[in-house]
Chain A
């Protein structure tokens, strides 16, 4: 397994990601402009914010298991997406045999999925 230090996203990019999340816009469009390392950092940031919105919206009633359950349920409906992919962090490129293009496509789908879950906490409808 390969361990690398994750890149940190510039604040300006985090700002852009947050605006898109709050407006219910897909992030896959934005990810097309980023390199692989930035995509991983974006994925991690979106995961963090999804958790944060869950906690902000539900307070003590929120649990990480609930969020994982929602992601699992959504992914179960898509047979070509491997659950765990999003949570294995930087090791995923060495663990998966898929092509880089396919990995990126899966990552984009998962980020959009996390945004949909985040939007349920924020209570907005995803557009674009």
Chain B
């Protein structure tokens, strides 16, 4: 008799969790909506959505504002479960860049998960040719940089796919 029932393992639903932290007063609702057809919960500073990636794999995306819950957030309990982080910031605001800079150190210290820094140009066009930021620019093995337009869901999905690629490369 086998020690492990493989069938029961193979059919166990799995959950992959990704955290999106936005350097702004409100949670990244548009970003999460671009990925998840179903939004579970939405507050000013928090949004949570899920995507059924395959029959037995669910992708959970948690969107946080860097502001209110951030300092009181139970990071030590949560970060170990997070597969990867998206750090979203307004490309046109210098203070947002500074906030993300500080956050990079914080997360790399707390977690071993990869990070993708995503500069959001909002409704404006991305000023650079696509080949400059696609594939994302490598800052280190665990940290990359790219652009998105929050008004264009396809650009958001590309950023998340880039993070998933980083995760797959880690496994590979």
Contacts and interface: CB of A to CB of B under 8 A. Distances in A.
Given A11-B105, A15-B104, A56 B143 contact: no
Interface string A49-90: 100110011010000000000000000000000000000000
A124 interface: yes
A15 to B, nearest CB: 6
Interface string A29-45: 00000000000000000
B117 interface: yes
A119 B149 CA distance: 22
B131 A57 contact: yes
A122 B145 CA distance: 15
B108 interface: yes
A8 to B, nearest CB: 8
Given A12-B101, A19-B97, A123 B143 contact: no
Interface of A: 10-16, 18-19, 22, 49, 52-53, 56-57, 59, 121-124
A89 to B, nearest CB: 20
Contacts of B143: 11, 14-15
- Interchain residue pairs A-B with the least CB separation, the first 3: A12-B104, A11-B143, A14-B139
9 contacts: A10-B105, A11-B104, A11-B115, A11-B142, A11-B143, A15-B100, A16-B97, A52-B137, A122-B132
A94 to B, nearest CB: 29
A57 B132 contact: yes
Contacts of B100: 15
B145 A15 contact: yes
B73 interface: no
B140 interface: yes
Given A15-B117, A123-B129, A124-B127, 8 more contacts: A10-B105, A11-B115, A11-B139, A15-B101, A57-B129, A57-B131, A121-B132, A123-B128
A56 B138 CA distance: 13
B127 A11 contact: no
Interface in B87-128: 97, 100-102, 104-105, 108, 115, 117, 119, 127-128
A15 B139 contact: yes
